[in-house]
Amino acid sequence: MNKWSLEGTVVRLIPLSADHAEALFPSASDPEVWRWMPRPRPESVGQLRDMLSEMIADPTRRCFAVQRRAEAP
């Protein structure tokens, strides 16, 4: 486990990476998800990748992706 990972019984939080953009894009495409977000909804995987890269580069943030644990019930 990475030093920034957080593990629970059902999910783990893993450090966010720009490589997560493709897997996150279907959810990120839902306008309801972005309804109250302070930035515009990304319209492509490339835009989402750029946004994630920008967020990750900010030293004041710790960004995580939620991953379902394979052994979870």
* SS3 of residue 51 by DSSP: helix
pLDDT for 1:
54
pLDDT for 29:
87
d(CA 26, CA 36): 18
Closest CA to 25 of 50, 58, 4: 50
pLDDT for 60:
94
Tens digit of each residue's pLDDT, the chain (73 residues): 556 778 888 999 999 999 999 999 998 888 898 889 888 999 999 999 999 999 999 999 989 999 898 865 5
d(CA 1, CA 20): 18
How many Å from the N-terminal Cα to the C-terminal Cα in the chain?
Answer: 20
pLDDT for 2:
58
- The pTM is what? 0.80
Question: How many CB atoms are closer than 10 A to CB 35?
Answer: 8
